Amino acid sequence: MVDQTDHSFSVDVASRGDIDSVQGLKAEARNLSFFYGAVQALKSVNMPVYDSRVTALIGPSGCGKSTFLRCFNRMHDLTDHTRYDGEILFHPDNVNILRKSVDPIEVRMRIGMVFQKPNPFPKSIFENVAYGLRVRGEKNRSELADRVETALRDASLWEEVSGRLDSMAFNLSGGQQQRLCIARALATGPELLLFDEPTSALDPNATANIEDLIHRLREKVTILIVTHNMQQAARVSDYTAFMYLGELIEFSDTNTVFTNPNSKQTEDYITGRYG
């Protein structure tokens, strides 16, 4: 564990010439490696996550982008025989959230996640959105109702479900279920929201809705999104990272990555030559 370097992040950021260093940092991966048993899935990844911005992770299947994303809320702790190496500094408190002494539950309380397939609980719409608050011990009914409504409005779902908050979440369409999951993650006011290919199970219409939403949400929350769809990355993100075989090949503002990539590999990928 490299605790001594915890306070040196600002120097590091300023020294990056290629990216807008005015924007604050929300998190930063430093020499992050990850192992499933003996298999190394991430190889010493260094990458910043800028505050109130959308950062997209792209790359071919199996390149480690989802693995990387799941390091941020310590999801890998749920699987046996996994190991992190290196650090993810989380700001403003500048703590390495991968440290053994940091409780993963505390991390997940501050960093929300939306999954590939909509995974609402088999409960009512209201209870789905309220669950994160209940986990935090919120019992006040009017407070719960207020925050559920706000979250549903933020996820642009309120208009569609306001009359049937007590009906089962499973009765919603796939796209609505995914927005419900976004509302569920938003309700607790996370500082960073992780999206793991959130539209891969949705039709084009629902996908457009979600993309719209993600683009607007960056006012409220920092977003890190994994996508296999390069157009999506281009549409919703401010920064884009290209990963390949567990390594971060390129990180830059989205415009640069798509119009003038540094690396030959990135160019080959975004022009569709492999992946």
Partner 1 sequence: MSNDPQAIRRLVVLGRRYDRLFAIVGMMAMMVGILTLAVLLAGLIHDGAERLNWDFFQNFPSRRAERAGILSAIVGSSLVMLITAVTAIPLGVAAGVYLEEYARRNWITEIIEINVTNLAGVPSIVYGLLALGLFVYALDFGQSILSAGLTLALMILPVIIVSTREAIRAIPGAIREGAYALGSTRWQLVRDHILPYSTGGILTGVIIGLARAIGETAPIITIGALTFIAFLPPSPVTGDFPFLSFEWLESPFTVMPIQMFNWLSRPQAPFQVNAAAAGIVLVAMTLLMNGVAIWLRVRFRNRIKW
Binding site for partner 1 (CB under 8 A): 73, 75, 78, 80, 105-106, 108-109, 112-113, 115, 117, 119-122, 131-132, 134-136, 170, 181, 184-185, 188
Spatial distance between the Cα atoms of 178 and 116, rounded to a whole number of angstroms: 9
Q: How far is the CB of 132 from partner 1 (least distance, A)?
A: 4
By C-beta, is 120 or 261 nearer to partner 1? 120
We find the least distance from the C-beta atom of residue 80 to partner 1, in angstroms, to be 6
> Which of 157, 112, 110, 151 is CA-nearest to residue 130?
151
Rounded least distance, CB 46 to partner 1, Å: 25
CB nearer to partner 1: pick between 43 and 99: 99
Rounded CA separation 75/55 (Å): 19
State the Cα–Cα distance between residues 266 and 271, nearest whole angstrom.
8
Q: Identify which of 236, 234, 271 has the alpha carbon closest to the alpha carbon of residue 255.
A: 234
Q: CB nearer to partner 1: give 9 or 115.
A: 115
Measured distance CA(19)–CA(107) in Å, rounded: 27
Least separation in angstroms between residue 188's CB and partner 1 is 7
Identify whether 204 is preceded by a cis peptide bond (ω within 30 of 0).
no
Residue 193 or 270 having the CB closest to partner 1? 193
Asked whether 21 and 205 are in contact (CB, 8 A), the reply is: no
Q: Which CB sits closer to partner 1, 188 or 207? A: 188
Residue 202 CB, nearest distance to partner 1 (Å)?
Answer: 15
